[in-house]
Amino acid sequence: MDLSGSGPCVDAKLRLHQRLPLSEARHGLRGDLSVMVDARLPDAQLKDDRGYFPEEESLRAASSVQLRRGDGSVLDELTFYPAVHVGARDLGSGTDTFLATEHVACLAGHWCGWRTVFFEVQNGHLVRLRAAGSNGEEREMAVTASLGSRWAIVSGKNHAQDLVYQVEGPSGLDQPVFVETRFSFTRERWRFSERQGAEYDKSVLRQSGKWSGTLEFHGG
């Protein structure tokens, strides 16, 4: 992929970066998630601050997350930005929620950073998660950790785990400068709620928790 998110076909070999075991009881099948990346990508670019930056002369192939049975056969597949690392969390949906973090190298940009996409194994498929709002609107569960946005998994109601995503908006009379979205699994599905602030409240920076991103106020 080039800077526009597209690019020429790349003849590249993929290597196994991660294997996450799956069980019949927890995921509905016995097998694993196999995370395949371009063989030319060193492990450091999949975990640290450098990430991957697309260069026309040496483009990398997109990463592949494959859902495999115990016999190795591939049931489903998702593709991500070349440098990706996958983790798993119990967020209360009855199965593991997987976090695919795309390690994007940012040369500049207040809102540019690592992007994390949430997905699950459902009925033998890999499903990118979407959440419903109170008015029926749906939203992809994806967050970015940058200088202008941050996210954390926090304790919710009834011992649940909620995903909280905070983003600074551009300053202006008709635009909010702070948006917080909370994703929760309630009433048998993923849902979200949102609050907006017309004025930036710096007290949010004092909120405790393991935040990804720094939320350094950038406004006028």
- What's the confidence (pLDDT) of residue 168? 87
Residue 58 lies in a domain: yes
Which residues, listed in sequence order, are joined to residue 192 by a DSSP beta bridge? 183
Residue 160 lies in a domain: yes
What pTM was estimated for this model as a whole? 0.88
| Total domains in the fold of the chain | 1
Q: Is the pLDDT assigned to residue 200 strictly greater than 70?
A: no
Residue 213 lies in a domain: no
Domain housing 116: 14-205
Q: How far is CA 129 from CA 14, 82, 154, 170, 215, in A?
A: 26, 20, 18, 27, 25
Residue 6 lies in a domain: no
Residue 143 lies in a domain: yes
Render pLDDT for 52-96 as a digit per residue (tens, 0 to 9). 888 777 788 899 999 999 999 999 999 999 999 999 999 999 999
Q: How many CB atoms lie within 10 A of CB 14?
A: 17
> What is d(CA 115, CA 126) in angstroms, rounded to the nearest whole number?
18
Residue 214 lies in a domain: no
Residue 82 lies in a domain: yes
Instruction: Give 104: exposed, middle or buried? Use CB within 10 Å, 0-12, 13-18, 19+.
Output: buried
Pairing of strands 114-122, 97-102: antiparallel
The answer to whether 154 and 162 have CB atoms below 8 angstroms apart is yes
Residue 5 lies in a domain: no
